[in-house]
Structure 1
Amino acid sequence: MLTHLAAFTGAAVLVALAPGPSTVVILRASLRSRRAGTLTAVGNELGVLLWGVAAAAGLSALLVASRVAYDGLRIVGAVVLVVFGVRALRAVRRSAVPSGVPSGVPSGVPDGAEAGEGGWRSVRRGVVTNLANPKAGVFAVSFLPQFVPASVGTGVPLAAFLLLLAVWWTVIDLAWYLTVVTLAGAARRVLGRPAVRRRLDQASGIVLVGLGARLAAETR
């Protein structure tokens, strides 16, 4: 069992390092404030845990077996990513410097307003980003069972072991994203400058819209 857990840990670390929509959303939140980034990461991991619990209960298998369920969640996920992307692009317009305003002084909604948004909103953003991705559900139901030893099912219930893997996967994923939040916080002095911030918002918006479009267009 320890051998399987060690193998699972290595695989989960590699999965966490792979960039995706969650990385973009958490990074952008981290540039507003460390609190926003941390809460968004926590929300994302709640989504990971829910997918893991669903896999342990066999619910994620519906996404594999049902084309309708998968496509429905895929379209919802695509809409969510596009909405987040459009919001990022709108933030670029709001922070644009109008003529007559000294360089370096942003207009529109200041960073402080976004940084002070409610904690629940940040958590919700992370949860929605993760749960709206059907690939996460399919991945959970196909990834976790690979690391179940043959002995499980006799002394230890299968569902209990899958739940253990799901919790450990969540912990590993959270550790990585908290590292991302910390690194973004350390670079905020540079990345938080109005001109740089606008470019990052623009880039993240384009990436999210692109990911949403790709998710909407893909076929199984």
Structure 2
Amino acid sequence: MIVRFVATTWLLAMLPGVGQALMLRQTLTEGPRAAVATILGTATGLLIWSVGAGAGLSAAVLADPAIYRALLVAGGVVLAGIGGRTLWGAIRQRDHTVAPASSPQPRGSRRAAYLAGVATNLANPKAGVFAITLLPAFAGAGGFLPTAGLGLLWSAVTASWYLVFVLLISRGRTFITRPGAQKALGSVSGIVLISVGTAVALGH
């Protein structure tokens, strides 16, 4: 289950979206240090979502197995839906490459970059949906601590991917933002997420 969870969160972090766009912007305009501060802010946002989900849903999950089953189904459907949209977006993606700036602009406040990461994550509905539906599904009926623990792991996995992403961009290796790379990433991620989502919904 842990391996499946890590794979799922890693793929979710790799998906082109708000988080990846924010890291790209911070790296190219503010510099890698600001991007790292934003990554820490994003990880903090994920922890906030996780603690809230664990505190609010653990009692209900423990009290009623039907709710736990409903969470499994809902989480699996959400995950498969994200995978389906990702796969469809990759198929329909038009050629467009984001070019890196020749040199970063003056670095802004690291505190501002950190807060931008927190705010963006807390405002991201995908993060909320994942925390509310999928964390309890993966954690099982163990209550708050397993959910919060998986939330910590989720934050670490997401931060790890963003660090790799920022490193690649900061060194000028923008192949990861090219149309071909994005299409391949979206296609593979979409198929895997659909498969994992189906397995979660079926209770496997």
User: TM-score category by the smaller chain?
Assistant: 0.5 to 0.7
Kindly provide the CA deviation profile for residues 152-194 of structure 1, in whole angstroms up to 9, marking residues without a partner as x. Answer: xxxxxxxxxxxxx95x986675355323212122235122121
Alignment partner of 1:212 out of 197, 200, 203: 197
Quick one: structure 1 residues 22 and 130, their matched pair in 2 at CA, closer, same or farther if it must change by over 3 Å? Answer: farther
Instruction: Verify: 1:47 aligned to 2:36, yes or no.
Output: no
Judge conservation of contact 1:32–1:111 (CA < 8 Å) in 2: no
User: What is the rounded CA distance, in whole Å, between the counterparts of 2:145 and 2:199 in structure 1?
Assistant: 23
User: What is the rounded CA distance, in whole Å, between the counterparts of 2:178 and 2:84 in structure 1?
Assistant: 21
Instruction: Verify: 1:22 aligned to 2:9, yes or no.
Output: yes
The corresponding residue for 2:23 is: 34
User: What is the rounded CA distance, in whole Å, between the counterparts of 1:218 and 1:88 in structure 2?
Assistant: 23
SS in 2 for 1:132: helix
Q: Look up the equivalent residue of 2:67 and give its one-letter code.
A: A
Kindly provide the CA deviation profile for residues 111-137 of structure 1, in whole angstroms up to 9, marking residues without a partner as x. Answer: 79xxxxx94786221121122113345
The corresponding residue for 1:179 is: 160
Normalising by the residue count of structure 2, what TM-score does the alignment of the two structures yield?
0.62
The corresponding residue for 2:133 is: 132
User: What is the rounded CA distance, in whole Å, between the counterparts of 1:213 and 1:16 in structure 2?
Assistant: 16
Judge conservation of contact 1:51–1:131 (CA < 8 Å) in 2: yes
Equivalence map 1:1-220=2 (5 Å): 19-28=6-15, 29=17, 31-34=20-23, 38=39, 41-54=43-56, 59-96=57-94, 106=95, 119=120, 123-133=124-134, 134-138=136-140, 141=143, 143=145, 166=148, 174-188=155-169, 189-218=174-203
- Based on CA coordinates, which of the two structures has the bigger radius of gyration? 1
Q: CA RMSD in A?
A: 3.8
Q: Look up the equivalent residue of 1:178 and give its one-letter code.
A: A
Question: Which stretches in structure 1 are left out of the alignment for 5+ residues?
Answer: 1-14, 97-105, 113-117, 145-164
Question: Which stretches in structure 2 are left out of the alignment for 5+ residues?
Answer: 26-37, 100-118
Quick one: structure 1 residues 132 and 72, their matched pair in 2 at CA, closer, same or farther if it must change by over 3 Å? Answer: same
Between the two proteins, the alignment pairs up a number of residues equal to 164
Show structure 1 runs of 4+ deviating over 3 A: 15-18, 29-33, 35-44, 118-122, 168-176
User: What is the rounded CA distance, in whole Å, between the counterparts of 2:122 and 2:24 in structure 1?
Assistant: 12
